[in-house]
Amino acid sequence: MHPKGGERFPRTGALCPRVSVRPKLGWSDEDYSAAADRKLGGSHKICSEFLQWGGTLDGAQVLEVGCGSGIDVLLVGLYPVRSVVGIDLELPLFEPGERGERTRGLAREVLEKRQLRDHVREVLESRPIRFAIMDATLMGFPDDSFDFLWSRAAMLEIMPLEKALTEMARVVRPGGLIYHNIHPYFWIRGCYKTGLVDIPWAHARLSPAEFRRFATESEGEATAIRRCQGLKTLNQFTLRQWRKMIGAGPFEILEWKEDRCSFAERLLEEHPDAKDSLLEGVEPRDLIHGGIKVWLRKKDHRANEDEDVSSVPVDDRSSPKLPVKG
Ligand SMILES: C[S@@+](CC[C@H](N)C(=O)[O-])C[C@H]1O[C@@H](n2cnc3c(N)ncnc32)[C@H](O)[C@@H]1O
């Protein structure tokens, strides 16, 4: 019996199955191909929506925050941008070893599907693409550096978020566009695998102490500690809180889309009692929305002043180098 009822919840990695874009050990060629297709589709969508919102990539200065593999940065670098920069706390594309090799393998697959037989190294050398290990809450760019900033699946992890939002507002020029694809925490998989225990939406229903007690009873103390520590690395915000925080910034919200997940809706029908035992502030809609997609325009308070958009001072030396094998 657990503290919120007694139903057993078949915890499984197959919850809301989708193609992973993070290459794993033992991936087949088909896995790489499917992940590359997903990467290409996602990148194409962001760029075409950017154009629809009136942006132009010709000569643009672009930043991805929390770029992970960096593959989206490579793809944007194929457009005639003035520069594109990817920042993250870690850059697996440049790591020696197995994880780096897998990331470069996916990058190669993506470039091949774009009919670019070039090695990643050649694309990096021939295009105005830069990467830097940099914390989104403390960016080393001058004010108003970028025409376009985007993040995908990173806002859940960037802490403290308020500081990052302030930094993002600072480095984007007035009138510049921002896109965030946010994975909200209280959705069934928003807690990542680390938060999935044998209670549906345990992370949205149990207090930290209850969660830890349940995980300890069912899986032992070491696993419970690992799970609880994992959850602490995620921004535990509701949809309402996301809207409030982003709305408080100097942005015009051009579009705010919350994506419903039909799998989560079905699961909620099977476990209707989940709705009756939610943590304070969490609403049923938080359980079934797997993404927020938001387009913002930085408000232009200086409409009548001369703009001083200087070049992004991330020079060649700040990009890490690929390992020799790359
Ligand atoms: C789930 S991954 C998403 C990566 C990539 N955007 C994608 O779509 O595959 C989240 C990324 O955010 C990065 N991240 C977390 N905190 C950060 C911070 N303070 N500054 C920069 N990046 C951060 C993580 O290192 C990780 O690579």
d(CA 169, CA 248): 11
User: Which residue, chain included where needed, has tokens 């993002």?
Assistant: 168
Query: What's the token pair of residue 7?
Result: 């139903």
Task: Give nearest CA residue, ligand 1 atom 24.
Answer: 66
Residue 305 is predicted with a pLDDT of: 52
For ligand 1, whether the C-beta of 21 sits within 6 Å is: yes
User: Which residue, chain included where needed, has tokens 């992890």?
Assistant: 157
pLDDT of the chain along its 326 residues, tens only?
444 444 455 554 456 666 788 898 999 999 999 999 999 999 999 999 999 999 999 999 999 999 999 999 999 999 999 999 999 999 999 999 999 999 999 999 999 998 887 679 999 999 999 999 999 999 999 999 999 999 999 999 999 999 999 999 999 999 999 999 999 999 999 999 889 998 999 999 999 999 999 999 999 999 999 999 999 999 999 999 999 999 999 999 999 999 999 999 999 999 999 999 999 999 999 999 999 999 999 998 765 455 444 555 555 446 788 886 54
Sheet with 251-260, side-by-side order of all strands: 129-133, 83-88, 61-65, 146-152, 172-182, 289-298, 251-260
For ligand 1, whether the C-beta of 157 sits within 6 Å is: yes
d(CA 185, CA 181): 13
Residue to substitute in 88, 110, 162, 166 for testing ligand 1 pocket (most ligand atoms within 8 angstroms of CB): 88
For ligand 1, whether the C-beta of 68 sits within 6 Å is: yes
All residues at 6 or more sequence positions from 31 whose CB lies less than 8 Å from its CB, including other chains: 20, 23, 24
Which one, of 67, 17, 33, lies nearest residue 181 by Cα? 67
Span from the CA of 66 to the centroid of ligand 1 (angstroms): 3
296 and 183 in contact (C-beta within 8 Å)? no
pTM of the model: 0.90
For ligand 1, whether the C-beta of 154 sits within 6 Å is: yes
For ligand 1, whether the C-beta of 174 sits within 6 Å is: no
Residue to substitute in 67, 134, 151 for testing ligand 1 pocket (most ligand atoms within 8 angstroms of CB): 67
Residue 318 is predicted with a pLDDT of: 63
Ligand 1 atom nearest to 181, measured from its CA:
8
Alpha helices in 18-159 (DSSP H): 29-52, 71-76, 98-113, 120-126
Residue 169 is predicted with a pLDDT of: 97
Span from the CA of 153 to the centroid of ligand 1 (angstroms): 7
All residues at 6 or more sequence positions from 270 whose CB lies less than 8 Å from its CB, including other chains: none
Residue to substitute in 85, 89, 95 for testing ligand 1 pocket (most ligand atoms within 8 angstroms of CB): 89
Ligand 1 atom nearest to 136, measured from its CA:
20
Provide the 10 A C-beta neighbour count for residue 160.
Answer: 10
Dihedral of CA atoms 58, 148, 109, 25 in degrees, nearest 10, equals 170
- The domain covering 28-182 belongs, at the CATH homologous superfamily level, to Vaccinia Virus protein VP39 (3.40.50.150)
For ligand 1, whether the C-beta of 122 sits within 6 Å is: no
For ligand 1, whether the C-beta of 132 sits within 6 Å is: no
For ligand 1, whether the C-beta of 89 sits within 6 Å is: yes
